Amino acid sequence: MSNTPLKHLAIIMDGNGRWAKERGFKRTKGHEVGAETIRTITTYCAQCSEIETATFYAFSTENWKRPKLEVEFLMKLLDKYLQKELSTYQENGIRFQAIGDIGAFSRPLQARIRNTEELTYANRNLTQVLALNYGSRSEIVSSVNTLIASGKTSISEEDISSALQTPYSDIDLLIRTSGEERISNFLLWQLSYAELYFSPTLWPDFTAKELEDIITNYKTRTRRFGGVK
């Protein structure tokens, strides 16, 4: 059995575009269905007593390279998602938090993000983190610069951890869907000793049952953290 509980789950949600293409839809349809999957998986995590935080890679700093119309659709979808999911957050005791540079988003979208954070702040069953305009290298560089600006002349691992945008526990389990097997600049510092699981399932088809099966697999692993067990 796993020698530590699954407190922090991270997911790279991959495969929306391919899911849509396989069905003859526009890529935007894949993103719409993928947003529904986020709700399903987040609700499952909120009902799983040991999971404290679920972090989803929603929009990377590299995603701005996508076609303009697709990016504009994703911004509108995010706004719609947060508006619609507020009741889900409140009913399931889910706290919402964003990480990343949201200053690049429109003012109304920034306001929606901050307002949702404030309205769900007291919820305690689960913290759902959406990584928005997020890149891990940028996060690490920013944290180091913050520490230097504060007067630090010698910086420890603990200092960097405390200055990151994600001051939660390190990642216990990372899942990436769609069969791709790479980390893509996501939570590099926090993933140092995470268990990794790569699912062939495209994100819109990912289910709570598959997540449950992956968690069962995770619990059969022995985490050594560099030592010998």
Task: List residues with catalytic annotation.
Answer: 14, 63
Contact present, 131 and 164 (Cβ < 8 Å): no
Report strand pairing: 94-99 vs 8-12. unpaired
Single-letter amino acid, residue 34: G
Single-letter amino acid, residue 222: T
Q: Cα(197)–Cα(179) distance, rounded to whole angstroms?
A: 10
Quickly count helices (H) and strands (E) in the chain: 7, 6
Q: How many CB atoms lie within 10 A of CB 121?
A: 11
Q: Cα(225)–Cα(157) distance, rounded to whole angstroms?
A: 16
Q: Cα(152)–Cα(215) distance, rounded to whole angstroms?
A: 40
Q: Which helix (H) or strand (E) holds 64?
A: none
**Lateral strand order in the sheet of 173-176:** 94-99, 126-134, 53-60, 8-12, 173-176, 195-198
Q: Cα(209)–Cα(168) distance, rounded to whole angstroms?
A: 26
